[in-house]
Structure 1
Amino acid sequence: MARKIGSRYTAHQILGRGSAGTVWLGEGPDGPVAIKLLREDLASDQELVGRFVQERSALLGLEHPHIVTVRDLVVDGNDLALVMDLVRGTDLRTRLDRERRLAPEAAVAIVADVADALAAAHAAGVVHRDVKPENVLLDMQGPLGPGGAHPALLTDFGVAKLIDSPRRAGPRATAPATRIIGTPDYLAPEIVEGLPPRAAVDIYALATVLYELLAGFTPFGGGHPGAVLRRHVTETVVPLPGIPDELWQLIVQCLAKGPASRLRASELTVRLRELLPLLAGMPPLDVDEPDDLEPERPEPEELPADPVRRRGAVPLVPGGPGPSPESSRDTHTSMRVPGPEELAGGALGTARVPRPAGGHRPGTARHRADTVRRRRLLLTGAAAALLAAVGVGSWLAVSDDDPPRKPDTHHSVPARP
């Protein structure tokens, strides 16, 4: 059912839903548009509406071939909406769900486009804060690039900042940030530690996306959100087998714990595009996702088959608004900043280790079950060998003491005296 958005736009059809709002296919004075209609509770927040108006010029000024342009911001009664260019295609998460992982050349080409978009945004003083596959759109009508990759466009610029800016008690209040915003798998360590987000957080998130496109899983994801946050701060990334060292070193540099050690977006764009000829023709990597670590518990005789689970981003706060079938994962969820004692829950270590196809990671239930089975087989074999050895030894002892005789062929009963 069509609905009016302000005086100039009409929303016709829902394209997707997220925790921040709903995206509609709409019509404006200049043709089709995408309209991101924010939730009604957000529209009723006067402080948010004020930030919305203040950010208008910054958001409308972001124009780049790899940025989904914001054409207008609408504030009308209970409607708070961003009117954007319509990209005819799909998002990167949908492609990743379908293909599991991408060939290195295509993955690097897509990430280079996004890095180019970030370079323009950062030059304008805008930090995205929520870079992830759901916010990367693939233009299916654009020309194919290296590895057959469609042009990538970064969307939802400014939405995280608009919705999630810390509340202030008054015009002069300077309360420290006590909540962190975003999707756990892509959060830079400095955000987890409560520092304000700078441009470097986008580079960290984009390097995480590149790792995910290559491997099929994020480097620090898996398990409880709190464990994911702690890994970002305390663990080092594990090498991916089968990719050129130049590409791996680039990923490691952009996943550095210290923001100052990461590349700038413009530098990352150049470096990635320089690597494209080296990656031409390489197939997707052949690695399996690490098993999530589980607490020790008695092993059952037979383990049930693992349930099918979707990998990637997990919400920070359980019980939030869930996505509909046509939506992407939730975004703009929040959680309090963990204390030092929580972040120090484990010593500096190594993140989850990618395993060869068919193997299980040490320390997991499946690995322990395999170990138990192997031990049982070894014990059974050893017992059989021991019994065989005892039998042979007894036969040899009897053979030395008694003359050879035929084995008994029937049972005899002694005669009575």
Structure 2
Amino acid sequence: MARNIGSRYTVHRVLGRGSAGTVWLGEGPQGPVAIKLLREDLAADPDLAERFAHERHALLGLEHRNIVAVRDLLIEEGTEPGAPHEIALVMDLVRGCDLRSHLERERRLAPARAAAIVADVAGGLAVAHAAGIVHRDVKPENILLDLSAGEGAPTALLTDFGVAKLVDEPRHGGRGGVVGTPDYMAPEIVEGLPPRAAVDIYALVTVLYELLAGFTPFGGGHPGAVLRRQVTETADRLPGIPRELWELIQQCLAKAPASRLRAAELASRLRELMPALEGLPPLAIGDPVPEAEAPAAEEPAALAAPAAARAAVPLVRGAAPDSERETHTRMRVPDAEELAGGAHGTARTIRTPGEPRAGSARHSAAARRKRRLAVTAAAVVGVGAIGGWLLFSGGGGDSGDTGGGGPSASVEEDEGPSSP
């Protein structure tokens, strides 16, 4: 059933739901549009309308072929006294699907296709960063594929610029909080530093890794574990891609923000690599082997959070249940001790198809070492006890010296191989 939004727009049906609101198919003076209505609980915030009005120029000013343009911003007062405002973003209608939906169907993309999508988005980010705008929530759900061109490769567009900053950070307080989607969150955000343009590069290349591998480099488990990995882990090498592409991924996933490429550089480098990627098939790798999870009692209480599904709801599929609110989270910034307490090594181990799930090799190797040390220590204690009994029970001088010498040599032989 149609309903009016403001005086110029009418909405007809839901296209999708996200963490901040619902996207509707609408009609305006110039034709079809997409209208994002913020959730009622957000619109009820008395300061939110003012923040959106203050950022109106930035929201409406971004123009690029790889950015979903915001055409209008509506802030309507409630029809009854005390009713919340109605806040809506009127955007270009993209006829296609979001990247999450596409990835769920395809599982993995060929390297050339993945590079083309990420190069498109990096081009849009370059314009936004030049204008001083950081997206702060780059992920497949916020990348739309425009299929209106027909048979050609779809154009990738980034949407929801500035919404994460306006809705989440000021609402909850930027100092001392972590807001975002853990799988794509740059380590400096986890450590409580101000988010600069480099956080978008980190998130976008995490998306590139996911398009190639079918999973993110540090995802899995509860959000606290994912945030620790973002700070302490190193991405596992993806087999079957050119060395130049892997070096680019490593550089943009660097823990130090200054080490990452700028958006324009990332777009240029990817386009330079695309001729070498043409014809390469999607990577033939199996699902990642998760690390053995530590017992719940060992998790720092400050990082504990409910487990969440990693796949968030598409923006342009029907009115499906919204799980994005579980992945888009807010947590206290972990302190240095909590971060240092995380697992070391890579969060996931890449395996080839058909290779059995062996569990965590690191944990099993450590367990074997502990068992060997325990057996060796028991042997040393046992031999020492026998030697002492022979020494003190033998009586005579010569026989005592011989008895003492034998067990002493035996102890040294046992201890040698067991030394670390």
**Normalised by the shorter chain, which TM-score bucket?**
0.7 to 0.9
SS in 1 for 2:290: coil
Gaps of 5+ in 2: 78-84, 296-306, 365-420
Mapped contact 2:73–2:87 kept (Cα < 8 A): yes
2:96 equivalent to 1:92: no
Instruction: Considering fraction of residues, name the structure with more helix.
Output: 2
TM-score by length of 2: 0.76
Distance (Å, rounded) in 2 between the aligned partners of 1:242 and 1:179? 39
Mapped contact 1:37–1:82 kept (Cα < 8 A): yes
Cα shift at 1:361: 4.7
* AA at the equivalent of 1:154: L
Cα shift at 1:222: 0.9
Q: After the TM superposition, which residues 117-136 of structure 1 pair with which residues of structure 2 at under 5 Å, given as runs?
A: 117-136=124-143
Q: After the TM superposition, which residues 131-170 of structure 1 pair with which residues of structure 2 at under 5 Å, given as runs?
A: 131-142=138-149, 149-167=153-171
Find the counterpart in structure 1 of residue 24 from structure 2: 24
Percent identical pairs in the alignment equals: 69
Q: After the TM superposition, which residues 240-259 of structure 1 pair with which residues of structure 2 at under 5 Å, given as runs?
A: 240-259=238-257
Distance (Å, rounded) in 2 between the aligned partners of 1:102 and 1:136? 15
**How many residues in Structure 1 have an aligned counterpart in Structure 2?**
342
Change in CA separation of 1:124 and 1:340 when aligned onto 2, cut-off 3 Å: same
Find the counterpart in structure 1 of residue 404 from structure 2: none
Find the counterpart in structure 2 of residue 377 from structure 1: none
Find the counterpart in structure 1 of residue 414 from structure 2: none
Change in CA separation of 1:198 and 1:31 when aligned onto 2, cut-off 3 Å: same
Find the counterpart in structure 1 of residue 390 from structure 2: none
Larger Rg: 1
Mapped contact 1:100–1:216 kept (Cα < 8 A): yes
Find the counterpart in structure 2 of residue 375 from structure 1: none
Change in CA separation of 1:141 and 1:328 when aligned onto 2, cut-off 3 Å: farther
Find the counterpart in structure 1 of residue 324 from structure 2: 329
Cα shift at 1:295: 4.2
Mapped contact 2:69–2:91 kept (Cα < 8 A): yes
Change in CA separation of 1:236 and 1:290 when aligned onto 2, cut-off 3 Å: same
Find the counterpart in structure 2 of residue 113 from structure 1: 120
Find the counterpart in structure 2 of residue 52 from structure 1: 52
Find the counterpart in structure 2 of residue 353 from structure 1: 349
* AA at the equivalent of 1:266: A
Distance (Å, rounded) in 2 between the aligned partners of 1:67 and 1:92? 14
TM-score by length of 1: 0.77
Find the counterpart in structure 2 of residue 342 from structure 1: 338
Distance (Å, rounded) in 2 between the aligned partners of 1:270 and 1:346? 36
Mapped contact 1:119–1:266 kept (Cα < 8 A): yes
Cα shift at 1:348: 4.5
Mapped contact 2:182–2:328 kept (Cα < 8 A): no
Change in CA separation of 1:311 and 1:215 when aligned onto 2, cut-off 3 Å: farther
Distance (Å, rounded) in 2 between the aligned partners of 1:176 and 1:127? 15
Mapped contact 1:21–1:39 kept (Cα < 8 A): yes
Mapped contact 1:23–1:34 kept (Cα < 8 A): yes
1:235 to 229, 233, 236: 233
Change in CA separation of 1:254 and 1:241 when aligned onto 2, cut-off 3 Å: same
Find the counterpart in structure 2 of residue 62 from structure 1: 62
Mapped contact 2:222–2:308 kept (Cα < 8 A): no
Distance (Å, rounded) in 1 between the aligned partners of 2:360 and 2:127? 44
Change in CA separation of 1:351 and 1:153 when aligned onto 2, cut-off 3 Å: same
SS in 2 for 1:157: coil
Once superposed, what is the RMSD of the aligned Cα atoms?
A: 2.6
Distance (Å, rounded) in 1 between the aligned partners of 2:271 and 2:52? 36
Mapped contact 1:131–1:202 kept (Cα < 8 A): yes
2:271 to 264, 270, 273: 273
Of the structure 1 ranges 86-95 and 177-186, higher mean CA displacement relative to structure 2 is found in 177-186
Find the counterpart in structure 1 of residue 14 from structure 2: 14
